[in-house]
Structure 1
């Protein structure tokens, strides 16, 4: 993760440094051009000022006065007549001769720049025409040594270099804190995932802002909680399986040894063999249900939906289960709206209702009533199994669909339950895209309701 922070820091630095260099370059060029334009404008304005005086008093005295003024200034002036003959100059000799070429009458009254190559040339220069009675009588040439411009630009460059180094330093510091700020929660998350990979799911992540990093931290925390729950559930599941398998095997082995090694009376022998058969059936049923759950978990079974006439379907269920209910002296009633159809897998639907009805029969007393009911609501079809048995304590309701969870653990063996029936029911109901709910009141009864939504029926 330190490598990531270094990579991020270098990446940010290169991006920001590139942007800063780009902006500094254009800003520098803009300021330089602006300063040169200001110098040229000031030079032109100075020449125009001299021109204005000379237009009023175009004589030797005024020319000498203008020349005298410029001889004490950082700029120089050359005044010529219309033919280009020098009338006055603030500099001895002819350093400006190359600029004093014959001029045309098309020079605007406001003047113009005749030399602006400050980088290569020794001077920048402007010209202003002198007009008397709208006729050109001469010209004012203004010159400024480019050394002063270079000095100005040099000072500007020094300021830019200083600002650049300060910006680079501050950017470097900011990027260090920024990269650490970004990578610190990532380092915490890496440590958390490493902790999870070692089987420790009690991870604690710092609170982060509501951004992508915050969402990632929440996801990791949620994953840790889910894995912790799955680990606990797996351990409980394995413990339950070992218990459920060991118990019938113990009975089978124990009574088989008794039958094999002892000389028993026919009645005792038959009793022990009956126990062995019952425990073998129980073991077979448990293994079958475990295979069912394994298929569901691996999605290796297929839901094959077809159109089911619920009235006919529920009447067939009643025919199959009535003998068992009559033996227990429990009444089974079937109620279904006429012409009610459902798209579902008939074998799986029968398995769902059989498990619910079997539970209802096991936990109901003699003389009780169990009702299988089907009806249509607005956009859904409802099936319910309702009994008037002992009910489920409120504290147990959230867990009854968990594997191997039993409400009445003391009576489980006598009732023959494995604790997997409702888990299978829940998975099969969800495989149909339906929902299952349960309402119960102790000593009053329990009702399981399956809701097939209209959209899920055709899937």
Structure 2
């Protein structure tokens, strides 16, 4: 940053210096020409020896010199002795000189004088030229003073630029150093970092992004630990049953009915363990995007009717009324087998957590550009604090993980992924002792045949 600003300042100062010097030289030349024009006007009004003497006397007390010649080049007046530098200028060809005057030498670096010439014509006999000279040594002294001012201004600007760069770099690097330290901690597995957001610019956005990343990684770390702990618990329970009852079944003094009973328990626990592994395998497949989805256009009414008939006996057996509400002209792009898995899982939850003589409803409604399918029950409900986490893996509202109160806590996680992978969204609303409503929303698929007819 310092180098860039220094280069910009250097180029700007050089350009400004050249412009100021050029402007100052032009002012000197215009001043010379103006004095020559003034002397011309006096000569044209009153041309005599006293006028010439008066002009010479005036210029002898200034830093400029005047030489007046006739048209033949003869010197009529000189305020100073004519030297070689003046003679060189006086010998220049003056075929056409405008009345307002002419700059005949402007190179102050290479020549001894800068000079202008102005023609005068008081009558037909008395005519000639007024030459004005200024020693370039005086001009160089002027430029030297100007250079000193520029050098002082440059050093002053450089000083303030260094101070500004110092504090600006501190202001920029301090949050960057803080963010570097935070990312170093993140790389070492310490996700409980805090990155202060001190501004609303790009640095502030970067700090906020790092803080969000740290929070997300910290959450994932905790979720992973909870996931491993829950998996360990879920695996340990059936394995403990299998090992315990297998040891009992191996006893030689056990009669056949008891051994059969223990073997049946071992069989059930093996099925439970296999079911858990299947669900974990499905989640793993969805995480690596190897879960195949074959979507097709499905008439929603007949699809929901088949699901309704499949689960109706279970609801009837528990004395729960199951209703289906769906119009006939609704169509959706879904994977029928995967979406049936979603509905069966939600209906199984409704059956499991609803009491006798309640009502569960499968309801499909159409709104502008979308179709929603809701599973509404009158069950025990979900506490408000648990609602944001019901789709988390291995999360269960009933924390004891008792075998009689549900599955593994993977069903709703799989449901959410199956819905989202098919382009839908799922949400839940619930109140304690009033029931739960899961709502799935898909973009509507128009039936081309019906629309064309």
Question: TM-score normalised to the size of structure 2?
Answer: 0.91
Contact persistence 1:343–1:457 (CA under 8 A): no
Q: Which structure 2 residues correspond to residues 100-119 of structure 1 after superposition, within 5 A?
A: 100-101=90-91, 104=94, 106-119=96-109
| SS across alignment from 2:73 | coil
Per the TM alignment, residue 322 of structure 1 is displaced from its structure 2 partner at its CA by 3.3
Gaps of 5+ in 1: 1-11
Secondary structure at the counterpart of residue 452 of structure 1: strand
User: C-alpha distance in 2, partners of 1:162/1:102?
Assistant: 41
Q: CA deviation at 1:346?
A: 0.5
In 1, distance between residues paired with 2:446 and 2:168?
50
Give the corresponding residue for 2:451. Answer: none
* 8 Å CA contact retained: 1:192, 1:204: yes
User: Does residue 1:192 correspond to 2:166, yes or no?
Assistant: no
**1:61 matched residue in structure 2:** 50
Match of 1:286 among 255, 271, 276: 276
Query: Residue 90 of structure 1 aligns with which residue?
Result: 79
Deviates more, 1:229-238 or 1:174-183: 174-183
Cα deviation for residue 344 of structure 1 reads: 0.3
Corresponding residue for residue 172 of structure 1 = 162
| Structure 1 position 212 matched with structure 2 position 202 | yes
CA distance in 2, matches of 1:154, 1:411: 92
Q: Show the counterpart of 1:430.
A: 420
In structure 2, C-alpha distance between the alignment counterparts of 1:323 and 1:205, rounded to whole Å: 57
**CA distance in structure 2 between the partners assigned to 1:93 and 1:359 by the alignment:** 118
Structure 2 regions of 5+ residues with no counterpart? 449-453
3-state SS of paired residue (1:141): strand
| 1:142/1:457 CA distance change after superposition, 3 Å | farther
2:212 maps to 222
How many angstroms does 1:71 deviate by?
2.5
Q: What is the DSSP-based 3-state SS (H/G/I as helix, E as strand, rest coil) of the residue aligned with 1:337?
A: coil
Deviation at 1:136, TM superposition (A): 5.5
Aligned with 1:380 (options 364, 370, 386): 370
Deviation at 1:262, TM superposition (A): 5.3
In structure 2, what is the Cα distance between the partners aligned to 1:102 and 1:264?
A: 139
**Distance (whole Å) between structure 1 residues aligned to residue 401 and residue 19 of structure 2:** 92
Q: Is contact 2:293-2:422 (8 Å) kept? A: yes
Secondary structure, aligned partner of 2:250: helix
Q: Secondary structure at the match of 1:261?
A: coil
Deviations 1:393-422 (A, max 9, x none): 333222222222222345741245111111
Q: Does 1:127 align with 2:105?
A: no
Return 247-256 or 210-219, whichever deviates more: 210-219
Look up the match of 2:312. 322
Partner of 2:339: 349
CA distance in structure 2 between the aligned counterparts of 1:141 and 1:135, rounded to whole angstroms: 19
Call closer, same or farther: CA 1:348–1:143 in 2, change over 3 Å: same
Is 2:243 the counterpart of 1:256?
A: no
CA contact (8 A) 2:102 2:116 kept: yes
Question: Aligned partners of 2:401 and 2:20: how far apart in 1?
Answer: 94
TM-aligned CA deviation for residue 353 of structure 1: 0.8
Moved more, 318-327 or 212-221: 318-327
The alignment status of 1:236 with 2:226, answered yes or no, reads: yes
Aligned counterpart, 1:50: 39
- How far apart are the structure 2 equivalents of 1:251 and 1:453? 47
- In the alignment, which of 426, 432, 435 is matched to residue 442 of structure 1? 432
Q: Distance in 1 between matches of 2:126 and 2:97?
A: 10
| Shift of residue 103, structure 1, vs aligned partner | 6.0
Residue in structure 2 matched with residue 76 of structure 1 by the alignment? 65
Post-superposition offset of 1:188: 0.9
Identify the residue that residue 294 of structure 2 maps to in structure 1. Answer: 304
Task: Tell me the distance in 1 between the aligned counterparts of 2:400 and 2:130.
Answer: 120
Given that 1:406 and 1:412 are in contact with CA atoms closer than 8 Å, whether structure 2 keeps it comes out as no
Q: 1:246 aligns to what?
A: 236
**Deviation of 1:273 (Å):** 2.2
**8 A Cα contact 1:83 1:102, kept in partner:** no
What are the Cα deviations for residues 104-157 of structure 1, in whole angstroms up to 9, with x where unaligned? 563222222222221111112222222114775232222221111111111112
Q: Which 10-residue stretch deviates more, 117-126 or 174-183? A: 174-183
Give the superposition deviation at 1:452: 1.4
Shift of 1:45: 1.9
- CA 1:24–1:102 in 2, change beyond 3 Å: closer, same or farther? closer
In the alignment, the residues of structure 1 paired with residue 447 and residue 58 of structure 2 have an alpha-carbon distance, to the nearest angstrom, of: 103
Aligned to 1:451: 441
Is 1:33 aligned to residue 19 of structure 2?
no
- The verdict on how the C-alpha distance between 1:105 and 1:329 changes in structure 2, with shifts beyond 3 A counting, is closer
